[in-house]
């Protein structure tokens, strides 16, 4: 919760981002050494999805190093976590190491935010209070607000299904027939606390298992918090219709090459499907020879052009502000000419790259015709892109 949600929202990670899961000593924000350990074996280089599957600790500490604990805390406060203080601004935050802990109620509210497609709704124990005559004397006033986008919430949901459906999942016993389930197990140092946090499209539930005065929890088999969660949630879902998480807008599901962990081309044989927030799509695989997916290639090319033009325009604006006032008209004209040339050249180069790849026969004639009209298309592309950028700004 402290890592996945904000790291996805801030585009620090995608599900296929990789980290070395090896014993590591970190230098924390207080300049002291911090050496967390895995509950399970160390796996070497793994993806974020694999780290979620079996709760590998080291990758999450490395992610929060990039994200920063300060950013994580900003998101946690929006999720309704009220127990945070300045002592929590450290790397242990990534593994739930909080000075004052979190109550199961606030944890449930935070997980429900993901289930609610990114909107936090303050938990309440009542909706209204009536007097003996049936008159409404008090309404519950729940705070609510959007924390993350629907796209970020959906990708988080998909990652959190991995502990339930993955071959190495830590919560496989929490599956519910006919329901897509997202769940995350948790264990504190010395086995003092056991957690299971999870949800379906219908309900969110959090179970904590431990002692009032901390002492190790001894048991055989599965996490006792998870067993309680599974028994309760399975019962309350028995008569409900089957339900999976609905895909959000601004999310792409793409085939990924298992070897390169980039978007698969037609030459990639070992692939799997992964979800990405638009704008975080990996590059296309270059290990294998083959045709690139048309939709991914075109989207990436257009985005590169827009980013390049926008960055150049911003650079010229900065230069304008630094020049004497009388020279501004000439520089503005120079900016427009620079943008025209830049876009035309960039489109031409990208088009040549696309044409150099082997295309399917049904597209060859179309490519030849488009090359003949390249000059007029470049001008039109420039005008459209600049209009888009102005609208965005």
Residue extents of the structural domains in the chain: 4-124+142-236, 250-288, 291-392
pLDDT of 217: 85
Task: Give the residue, 271 or 39, on which the prediction is more confident.
Answer: 271
**Distant-in-sequence contacts of 185-193, Cβ < 8 A, 24+ apart:** 185/55, 185/223, 185/225, 185/226, 186/55, 186/96, 187/39, 187/55, 187/223, 188/96, 188/97, 189/97, 190/214, 190/216, 191/216, 191/217, 191/218, 192/216, 192/217, 193/217
DSSP secondary structure letter of residue 263: B
The per-residue pLDDT of the chain, averaged, comes to 83
pLDDT of 222: 86
The three state secondary structure string of 177-220 is: CCECCEEEEEECHHHCEEEEEEECCCCEEEEEEECCCCCCCCCC
pLDDT of 212: 85
DSSP secondary structure letter of residue 242: P
pLDDT of 384: 53
Confidence of residue 353 (pLDDT cuts 50, 70, 90): low
Show Cβ contacts of residue 350 under 8 Å, excluding neighbours closer than 6 positions: 301, 304, 305
CA 108, CA 117: separation in Å to the nearest integer? 15
Confidence of residue 304 (pLDDT cuts 50, 70, 90): low
Q: What is the pTM of this model?
A: 0.75
pLDDT tops 70 at residue 374: no
CA 91, CA 39: separation in Å to the nearest integer? 17
pLDDT tops 70 at residue 319: no
Task: Map residue 343 onto helix, strand or coil.
Answer: helix
**What's domain 4-124+142-236's superfamily in CATH?**
DD-peptidase/beta-lactamase superfamily (3.40.710.10)
Over residues 345-365, the mean pLDDT reads 47
Task: Give the residue, 99 or 26, on which the prediction is more confident.
Answer: 26
Over residues 244-264, the mean pLDDT reads 96
CB atoms < 10 A from the CB of 18, how many?
15
pLDDT of 363: 41
Q: Give 136's strand partners.
A: 130
Torsion of CA 146, 118, 109, 12, to 10 degrees: -100
Letter string b/e over residues 363-376, b meaning 16 or more CB atoms within 10 A of that residue's CB: eeeeeeeeeeeeee
Query: Are 173 and 226 a contacting pair, CB within 8 Å?
Result: yes
The dihedrals phi and psi of 275, each to the nearest 5 degrees, come to -105, 140
pLDDT tops 90 at residue 278: yes
Confidence of residue 358 (pLDDT cuts 50, 70, 90): very low
pLDDT of 387: 52
Task: Give the residue, 359 or 102, on which the prediction is more confident.
Answer: 102
């Amino acid at each position: 919760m402290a890592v996945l949600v904000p790291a996805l929202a801030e585009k620090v990670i995608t599900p296929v981002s990789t980290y070395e899961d090896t014993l590591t000593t970190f230098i924390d924000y207080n300049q002291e050494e911090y050496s967390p350990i895995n509950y399970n074996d160390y796996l070497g280089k793994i993806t974020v999805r694999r780290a979620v599957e079996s709760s590998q600790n080291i990758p999450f500490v490395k992610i929060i190093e990039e994200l920063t604990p300060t950013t994580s805390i900003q998101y946690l406060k929006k999720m309704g976590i009220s127990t945070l203080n300045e002592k929590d601004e450290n790397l242990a935050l990534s593994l739930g190491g909080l000075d004052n802990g979190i109550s199961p109620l606030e944890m449930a509210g935070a997980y429900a935010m993901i289930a609610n497609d990114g909107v936090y709704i303050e938990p309440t124990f009542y909706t209204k209070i009536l007097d003996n005559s049936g008159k409404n004397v008090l309404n519950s006033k729940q705070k609510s607000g959007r924390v993350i986008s629907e796209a970020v919430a959906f990708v988080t949901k998909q990652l959190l299904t991995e502990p339930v459906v993955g071959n190495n999942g830590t919560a496989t016993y929490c599956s519910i027939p006919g329901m897509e389930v997202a769940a995350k197990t948790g264990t504190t140092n010395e086995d003092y606390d056991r957690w299971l946090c999870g949800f379906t499209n219908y309900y969110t539930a959090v179970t904590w298992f431990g002692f009032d005065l901390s002492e190790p929890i001894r048991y055989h088999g599965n996490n006792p918090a998870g067993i309680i969660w599974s028994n309760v949630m399975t019962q309350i879902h028995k008569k409900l219709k089957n339900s999976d998480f609905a895909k959000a807008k601004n999310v792409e599901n793409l085939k990924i090459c298992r070897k390169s962990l980039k978007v698969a081309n037609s030459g990639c044989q070992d692939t799997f499907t992964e979800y990405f927030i638009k704008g975080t799509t990996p590059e296309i695989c270059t290990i294998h020879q083959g045709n690139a997916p048309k939709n991914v290639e075109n989207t990436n090319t257009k985005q590169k052009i827009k980013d390049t033009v926008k960055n150049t325009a911003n650079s010229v604006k900065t230069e304008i502000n630094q020049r004497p006032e009388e020279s501004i008209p000439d520089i503005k004209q120079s900016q427009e000419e620079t943008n025209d040339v830049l876009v035309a050249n960039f489109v031409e180069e990208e088009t040549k790259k696309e044409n150099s790849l082997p295309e399917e026969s049904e597209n060859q004639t179309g490519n030849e015709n488009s090359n003949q009209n390249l000059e007029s298309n470049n001008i039109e592309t420039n005008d459209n892109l600049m209009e888009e950028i102005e609208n965005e700004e």
